[in-house]
Amino acid sequence: MPAITTTATATALRRRPARVACLAAASAAVAVSLTLPAHASERPAEATASTQEVTQQVNESTTRTAVEKATDNSDKQADKQAEDPGRGAEFDDDGKLIPIAHHEQPDPVPASREDIDKWIKEALKVMDKNDIPGSYQGIYSNLMRESSGDPYTINMWDTNAHKNIPSKGLLQVIDPTFEQYHVDGTKKDIYDPVANIVAACNYAADKYGSMDNVNSAY
């Protein structure tokens, strides 16, 4: 019996380290399980913060894009207006004239009689050299009817305006006509008074024999 008691005691002693190890492992597992909820509760907060950051970046990017587009459109508008100084004219993003109602057409700002007189006389000299018929009075009467003497008048309401070929300048010439009937020795600027008069008289000579034969819109 003593031997048996001793053996049992020894067996029990041998088993204690294993039991202790099991208890330690169980304690570690409990410790891990206790810490998991804390980590799990942190993840939604991290996800929310990440989502908010992405949303902010997208909003900032969208805002920058909108500002850049508005600036680009403004620059295009300024460039087009610099190219085409027609009084009151506005253009869309594609550079096309934005038509308006007849009653919205800006009032002309006539040049002085001295300037008009000078421009007509200069135009007559060019016309004489190029065998283009027309008289001072014929030019003057048509010029005053068409533009009231404003070299920067642009028609923004009629059918030509809606076709994006508005009538421009002292004698209300459209771009295709100006390009076709432009006379060398004058500026290639449809708003230039002398160039506008000479091109218009050249066109009138071809279509009507002379600007003197024009008494209405032509």
pLDDT at 10: 43
**CA of residue 26 relative to chain centroid, distance:** 71
| Cβ pair 157, 100 in contact under 8 A | yes
Q: Which residues of 54-89 are buried (b: 16+ CB within 10 A; e: fewer)?
A: eeeeeeeeeeeeeeeeeeeeeeeeeebeeebebbeb
Rg over alpha carbons for the chain, rounded to the nearest Å, is: 44
**CA of residue 142 relative to chain centroid, distance:** 37
The set of residues, in sequence order, having a beta carbon less than 8 Å from that of 106 and lying 6+ positions away, is 87, 88
Whether 13 shows a pLDDT value over 90: the answer reads no
120-172 per-position pLDDT tens digit: 999 999 999 999 999 999 999 999 999 999 999 999 999 999 999 999 999 99
pLDDT at 150: 98
pLDDT at 49: 62
Q: Is 6 left (phi over 0), alpha (psi -120 to 50) or beta?
A: alpha
Residue type at 5 in one-letter notation: T
Encoded tokens for 108: 């002309």
46-67 per-position pLDDT tens digit: 656 666 776 676 666 666 665 5
Residues in the chain: 218
Q: What is the pTM of this model?
A: 0.65
